[in-house]
Structure 1
Amino acid sequence: MEKENEPYSSKVICVIGLGYVGLPLALLFAKKKMNVIGLDLVEEKVKMLNNGQSYLPDVQDDEIQKALNEGFFTATTDYEAVKKAEVIVICVPTPLTDYGTPDLSYLQSVSMTLASLLQKDQLVILESSTYPGTTKEVLQPILEKSNLKAGRDFFLAYSPERIDPGNKQFKEVDKIPKIVSGVSPQCKQTVFDFYNQVFDQVVLVSTPEVAEFTKLLENSYRFINISFINELAIMCDQLGIDLWESIEAASTKPYGFVPFYPGPGIGGHCIPVDPLYLAWKGTRANVDNKFIHLADEINHIIEKYVISQIETFLGGDLQNKAILLYGIAYKKDIDDYRESPALFILHSLTDKGAKVSFHDPFISEVVAAGERIQSVNLNVEILSKSDLVAILTDHSALPVQMILDHSKLVYDTRNVTRNFKGNAKVFRLGGGES
């Protein structure tokens, strides 16, 4: 398809959900000189944004202030704002229920509200990760309660988000190819024309189901491969082989190998969640996704393995042992601890009688199981008093040398200590004793 000449700069874009996906996308639109209304029901978020303050590590205050000062961005909690928009982009959470099944309650709530406010000729784009069929089977019927028909009276499309929080190499969202599709030929053309003015490359696929499946394919690929490499880490510990060195060596092969790295488990809102959406959809089609279920099982096994290793290093009895966890976020340089394996490890060690504290430069406190736990200051005193320090997140600010110089025992699940020497006795996940 060719680029459309009519610019969207004179039109209004409404982004619903200002989290890790919605806020960077809204600011990207503003950067492209589009008029953006960010809509979120959390009043504190909206207040901070309108004061030029960010609550995400990947978004700087000056980015928000620039968009505000130039008049291209404002935030609100009022759904009436969608009436002013030519384009509505939905970026709400799609978590799992306690039973491991898709939870579309946020999307359904937004859709029902939109149905009462939808205007003729508006373009509605769903960006939330979800199972194939959601756009047509869930979103479209609800929106059409407005008595407007998708493909005739308004345009409905799906475009999966591909934002990777904390990834500085791909921080510029518009450089990441954008997958799009729509529920009719005109819907596809409309969403293509819109995003072609925002992203460097737009990839049009035949149906929303293909676009939905593409996102789940990408994350299932990572989920399975990370779980596989975590299983190998356990094996290498038993065999006395340095898995990290093997990965480094295998990476010299110029074809046929993509490196994945072990860790204490897979966290976040996407990688441990999206594959289970795909498996759920497969079950409804009488297909058993064995790889996904096995990967999910291994993801929980590695968490328990890390705990058992800590027990072993401390002589098998954790009662009153002082354990410091470095990092509670599920990956480096972000403040997101959703589905973080560190939470499970923290609570399991506590249940076994250990005195567990944590330090994370991005997270001041966590709320888990109804309890608020504060991050402690990382200093020589707390390191020297700890019976073991477990490195669970490899933040860039991680003071490796300080930890090795002043700790007794360190369990490194991220291989950050490999090229360092210090006073501490060090064990590396998949790397053995250093």
Structure 2
Amino acid sequence: MLQELLTKIENKEYTIGIAGLGYVGLPLMWTFHERGMPVIGYDIDQNKVDCLNSGTPYIKHLGEEMMGKLAKSERCDSTTDFSRLKEADCILMCVPTPLNHHREPDMTYVEQTTRTVSQNMRKGQLVILESTTYPGTTEELIIPILEEGSGLSAETDFYVAYSPEREDPGNENFNTAKIPKVVGAHGEDALKLACALYDTAIVQTVPVSDCKTAEAVKLTENIFRSVNIAMVNELKVIYQAMGIDVHEVLDAAGTKPFGFMKFTPGPGLGGHCIPIDPFYLTWKAREVEQPTRFIELAGEINTDMPRYVIRKTLEAMNHHKKALNGSKVLLVGLAYKPNVDDDRESPTYKLMELFEEMGAEVSYYDSYVPKIKPSREYAHYAGRESVNWDKDTISKFDAVVISTNHGDINYSELGEWASCIVDTRNAMNGYATKEGQLFKA
């Protein structure tokens, strides 16, 4: 059974199944398809399946060309029928792993998907979890569910591995195929299969000793980013109090060819990884009675940044002799990072809530997110639409807060039209502004 599947993979005669067609699953589908493999995508969202089968983009930065090719290809199929999981030789699970209201791991999506896979498995398949999670998930949660639901045994009847996603939406220099793949597995046979699988589509595989090590790798990568972003966010607050431009400091420090890596401050953390992943480790660390003070401190600093933006906006409006209560505030940028339509965990949502709590009338502008989709935490904003970008619209706001520095925003026009600009991203650097108009936050 092992040799049969290994031969299929090495000869590129296997079928890949991808459960979850979002920001991770869809690029994986494209990557394996481009390498010539038949791909079946599975999702509970009928709209995503319909979009894939019709070639309609639902993730903007991935583009129309990719979706069109997938829709027309005889090697690509998408479905909500999970009974078709048996058609796949290798199954990749790419589902969300959010936090609950107590900042603890919410494994609902992973558990439900794993149960569905277990009820539709056959012997000889390779199952790989790609979702970011705490160390021990694959061994302690995934394998028992798969074995119980299928009546089969891991290592004997099927194979299990873990390989964390490393997507960076909108990064034109690194797509899925160009990012090395860390792989851990349940047993040597599963590791051999998983590495062979990714070798057919990814530039490099990086095998590690087991699943929990691979799970820890992804958390470490994002904790590293969280801690360093917290550091520059704290430096921003300190240096601004001293009359020092933190961005000038970081640009200069970034010229050092060794021993320094530049991170950029902002209004808080966004995306599905950095605001969430560190807390998967802090939660798991309690099990072994180990403190995570450094990680938690970074989380506190980053979580407080939207409130710092509010305070700076209050100062800006006070300079214009206006109260925040009753004023009109425009948030420029809803996506969590520039030039993508990914608004997951965006700090702009927190800014919306805080401004509204203080009595402001809040709107947003974002060409990448023209209309807010339903989400778990911010369902009350679903359906709200971006304002138009024109002089009559922008000039009516008492304050404009730049929360995401998209490349398609005309900052020269913003400088002409807005009376008060609070810049959290240094986006107005180099653009002409009037005296008393621009405030950095």
Flag whether TM exceeds 0.5 (same fold): yes
1:118 matched to 2:118: no
Residue 347 (structure 1) aligns with: 353
| Structure 1 gaps, min length 5 | 430-434
Asked if the contact 2:61–2:341 (Cα under 8 Å) also holds between the matched residues in 1, the reply is no
Instruction: Check 1:222–1:419 CA distance in 2 against 1; reply closer, same or farther (3 A cut).
Output: same
- CA drift of 1:9 comes to 3.3
Task: Write the deviation string for residues 39-60 of structure 1: whole angstroms up to 9, x where unpaired.
Answer: 0010111111100111002222
- Counting only pairs closer than 5 Å after superposition, residues 13-52 of structure 1 correspond to structure 2 as 13-52=16-55
Matched, 1:284 2:287: yes
Shift of 1:5: 6.8
| Alignment-derived partner of residue 229 in structure 2 | 226
DSSP 3-state at the match of 2:274: coil
SS of 1:253's partner is coil
Whether 2:12 is the aligned partner of 1:9: answer yes
- Partner Cα separation in structure 2 for residue 90 and residue 8 of structure 1: 23
Please give the secondary structure, in 2, of the residue aligned with 1:210. Answer: helix
Instruction: Identify which range, 294-303 or 87-96, moves more after superposition.
Output: 294-303
SS of residue in 2 equivalent to 1:373 = coil
Counterpart in 2 of 1:92?
Answer: 95
Native 8 Å contact 1:406 1:423 kept in 2 = no
Q: 1:126-152 CA distances to partner (integer Å, 9 max, x unpaired)?
A: 000000000000000010112211111
C-alpha distance after superposition, 1:165-198 (max 9, x if no partner):
111221x311110101110010101101111111
Instruction: Output aligned runs, 1:396-407, within 5 Å.
Output: 396-407=407-418
Partner of 2:419: 408
Match of 2:160 in 1: 156
TM-score (norm 2): 0.94
The answer as to 2:214 corresponding to 1:193 is no
**TM-score for the superposition, normalised by structure 1:** 0.95
Amino acid across the alignment from 1:391: I
Number of residue pairs aligned between Structure 1 and Structure 2: 425
1:336 — aligned with what? Answer: 342
For the 8 Å contact 2:370–2:386, the answer to whether it is kept is yes
Aligned residue identity for 2:57: S
| Correspondent of 1:320 among 306, 312, 326 | 326
Secondary structure in 2 aligned to 1:370?
A: helix
Is 1:357 matched up with 2:369? no
Query: Which AA in structure 2 matches 1:276?
Result: F
> 2:3 matched to which residue of 1?
none
**Cα 1:390–1:298, aligned 2, differ >3 Å: closer, same or farther?**
same
In 2, Cα distance between the equivalents of 1:40 and 1:165?
Answer: 20
Report the AA paired with residue 336 of structure 1.
D
Instruction: Pick from 12, 35, 56 the counterpart of residue 53 of structure 1.
Output: 56
Quick check: 1:49–1:75 contact (8 Å CA) kept in 2?
yes
Q: Contact 1:8/1:194 (CA < 8 Å) preserved in 2?
A: no
Asked whether 1:107 is paired with 2:110, we answer yes
- Find the aligned partners of 1:373 and 1:147 in 2 and give their Cα distance: 47
1:242 matched to 2:252: no
Letter matched to residue 337 of structure 1: D
1:9·1:35 contact (CA, 8 Å) conserved in 2? no
- Aligned-pair CA distance for 1:241: 0.4
CA distance in 2, matches of 1:375, 1:396: 17
1:351-384 Cα deviation digits (max 9, x unpaired): 2111111100111222535244211101101221
Cα contact 1:322–1:356 (8 A) shared by 2 = yes
Deviates more, 1:297-306 or 1:128-137: 297-306
* Offset of residue 8 of structure 1: 5.3
* Aligned CA-pair RMSD: 1.3
- 1:165-204 mapped onto 2 (5 Å cutoff): 165-170=169-174, 172-204=175-207
Counterpart check, 1:261 vs 2:264: yes
Is the Cα contact below 8 Å between 2:20 and 2:42 reproduced in 1?
A: yes
Match of 1:432 in 2: none
Quote the offset at 1:311 in angstroms.
Answer: 1.1
1:304-325 CA-partner distances (Å, limit 9, x unpaired):
0101111111117212211111
Deviation at 1:329, TM superposition (A): 1.0
Counterpart Cα distance in 2 of 1:311 and 1:179: 46
- Aligned partners of 1:31 and 1:67 also within 8 Å: no
Q: Among the aligned pairs, what percent are the same residue? A: 40
Alpha-carbon deviations, 1:28-75, whole Å to 9, x = none? 111111000000010111111100111002222221222333311111
**Gap change, CA 1:226 and 1:16, over 3 Å in 2:** same
Matched AA of 1:153: D
Residue pair 1:86, 1:123 contacting (<8 A) in 2 also: yes
